[in-house]
Amino acid sequence: MVGKYSFGDVVFDPLGLADKYDLNYLREAELKHGRVCMLAFVGWVAVDAGFTLPGPQYEGVTSLAAHDMAVKTGDLWTLLAVVGACEFKHLSIISPKLDGDWGDWEPGNYGFDPLKLDSPSRRVAELKNGRLAMLAFSGIVTQNALGHAAPYW
């Protein structure tokens, strides 16, 4: 199956997922997870470099301990509410498209480009950077959980 995200006439799909799932939905999920991981990686490194939320309870908190600290202070509930509201809004837009036609909707394009930077090459770069960020974030979390310090640049 040649999709609109193929390079040439070849689609890399060794598991045959394109035959079972909507490619637009898979691309939407991949872009969303990539964007979240890009932010998460930068946030992880920033916290370990010393940039934390204001307040004495956050001084000296590492990225690995930030989750437990946010649970202890109750701030994680606020984050859960904001992210949950965003996810429900996103679901209300994507869910009707799953059984029908995606029409003019392009996966990952939310119509927000104030600097007019959108181009086909930037879209491919974002996709590749998102994939790299998913690997990088998994690696840095695993490294920290095993007791090794985060790298500093």
What is the pLDDT at residue 1? 42
Report the chain (153 residues): mean pLDDT per 10 consecutive residues. Answer: 49 80 86 95 89 81 86 90 94 83 82 88 92 95 85 59
What is the pLDDT at residue 134? 96
139, 45 Cβ separation under 8 angstroms: no
What is the pLDDT at residue 78? 93
Q: What is the CA radius of gyration of the chain?
A: 19
What is the pLDDT at residue 13? 79
At the fourth CATH level, the homologous superfamily of domain 21-145 is: Chlorophyll a/b binding protein domain (1.10.3460.10)
Nearest to 109 by CA among 7, 56, 52, 35: 35
What is the pLDDT at residue 8? 52
pTM of the entire predicted model: 0.81
